[in-house]
Structures are given as structure tokens and as C-alpha cells.
Amino acid sequence: MDELEKVRELYGEPPADPILEARVRARLAAAPRRRRWRLSWTAAVAGLAAAAAAVAITFPGVIGEAGRTERATEISGRSILLAAATRAESGPAATRAYWRVRKLHRQTHPEPLGRGENRYRMVESRLTEQWASRDGRVWAGSRTLGARPRSGADAEAWRRDGSPTEWAGQGLSTAPGEGLLNAVTDRAPFSMAGHGMSFEQIQRLPADPVALKDRVAEVVRDVPGGSTDGVVADALSGLLWSKPSPPDVRAAAYRALAELPNVRYLGTAKDERGRAGAAFSFTVRTTATVQRTLIIDPTSSQVLSSTDTGRPGTVGDEVEVVLEAGWTDDEPTAPGLP
């Protein structure tokens, strides 16, 4: 049974697009009356609707030229998340030594640099890695990759300023730093909305989407000034890539996200490494309002990137590109250059 059939089994046949029905009806009416056209228009619509649904799951941005209504987008986005859930269920269990997450971070330095009219912004990049063993040991690795001008105009102003490579008092350099690796002993290995979580607690999370959503809502209920819907969506999304969630828990997280009205499907997108996926966004309201956008690959169920917009103390977007997330037998080491 393929992914589309499993989605249909769980949630029923997607409703036919009325615009698509009208287009098929018009084509059949204009076609010659030949024996090969002795097919009811309802059967033709059903076949095209099934094909459109399959395309919507495999290529999330394609859903028919005239069918881009809000309802069609909602159905398409939900189908993508459900297909990702089906794929997540077949993911590897915790059979290797370490859970490892390797990410590339990018953000604009908060202060403008330069002198006089030669003012410019620099973008900071760094690698981070987290290693965690099943017995609770955790290691954190990091490596700065060097700052670069944010835009062409910034690059011109930087050159007019003498193309400096370091800035006193800013902790900023254009040269990559050394890789660092440290054992983490002062906090829980994982967290959900600021609440520490152990490996065992993550393994025991419910595999039913409704029960998982309820459990997450209970954990995040005391987030200061928080909007429950947004914080729940944020916590559920964290189970997809930043924690060693079992395959059935990852699948439940995808299914729970598919039912949240505040999770919006934005269409196809590419992350900063050019990888294509489906983009979803939700707003997290705590002490500030932050929009988070995730790009996921529904064919692998992997999260490709996470972008925060509106985070206090930042300029522009703060981006995390997921380079690796999964189990490995490799020993923890300081991050090398990508």
C-alpha cells in the first residue's frame, strides 16, 4: 500500500475540486462523440481528482491551474503532512550509540559596522552539533564559519571601509574559528518549551496524535505570556528533528500538526542549500511574536530548515539548516568545516 492509499484509508477520499469538475465537463461537452469517449463525466472527474491528489502529495506546490483556493491549499498541506507521517513510521529506531543533530546557523549581526557613510551589515554563520547517548550523556559542539557582507550594497560599503577582517569589541571575524566540543553537565539533554526532558521521557511520549498533543499542551501550559496553539505547534515540530523521537512518535507529531488550524501551508520552497521541500509556518507568541517557517521533505519526513522571523534582538531572519539528524555510531567530535 502506497502513501496516498494509506492517507485515504485513514482520512477518506479528498473532495473533488469543483473548478476541476467544471473544466472536465466543458472538455467532454466539446469532444467528438466517439466510442472512446463513452465514459461518464463523473468517472473522468474522479480519475483526474485522484491524479491531482497524488500530485499534491508528491509535488506539493502543484494542485491545478485554477484550483488554488484556500480550501485546496488546506487539503494539499494536510495531505503532505500525513504523507510525511506515513514515511516517518518506517524510520530507524534507536539502535546506534548516539543521537546527533548537525545544523548550520545564519543570522545578521545586530549592530551596523563601518564608519561614516560606509555602513554595512554582516551575516554570521556557525555550525552546531549535539550528541546524546541513551544513558543521558550530552556533548555540544560549535564552530564559527566567518562573517560575510549581507548584500551587494553591504559588500561595497565594506570594501570602501578597507575590507576589515575583525571588529574590536564585536567578537566578529571573517575567518573560520576552531571547532569546539564540550560535555554538557549542567542541564537536561533536551527541552520542550524550556522544560528539561530526558531520553527516556521522549521515548515514552504517546504515539497517538491526540494523546501526544494533549501531553505537549500539558507540558507547555505555563510558558509565560504564551499562546497555547503556537507553543504547542512549536513543541510538536521539535519532535520531528531536534530530539531522538521514536518513529511512531514522529509520525504522531506530523499527524497532530496536520490538525492544527494555525499551521499554514505555504507551497514549495528551497532551503539555503537548494534542497526542495514543502514550507509550513506558524506563529509563536510568548513575550514576543515570532513566525517560524519549516521546510520539510515529505518523501523522507526530514526537516530541512527552520527560519524565525521577528525574534527580539535580531535583524532579519534567523535560519537553521539541518545538515544531519539521526542515529550514528561515530564518536562525538568537534565540528569540521562543511
pLDDT in tens, 81-102: 999 999 999 887 778 899 999 9
pLDDT at site 69: 55
Cα-trace Rg, the chain = 24
Max CA pair span of the chain: 82
Contact in structure between 242 and 323 (CB atoms under 8 Å): no
3-state SS of 62-96 is CCCCCCCCHHHHHHHHHHHHHHHHHHHCCCCCCCC
CA-nearest of 262, 235, 228, 252 to 74 is 262
Phi, psi of 289, rounded to the nearest 5 degrees? -105, 120
pLDDT < 70 regions, the chain: 1-74, 224-227, 286-287
Supply the DSSP string of 163-217, one letter for each residue: --SEETTTTEESS----EEEEE-SS-SEEETTEEE-HHHHHTS-SSHHHHHHHHH
What pLDDT does residue 23 have?
Answer: 38
For the chain, the 3-state helix, strand and coil shares in percent, each to the nearest 5, are: 35, 30, 40
Q: How far is CA 223 from CA 32, 82, 229, 256, 312, in A?
A: 65, 28, 12, 20, 17
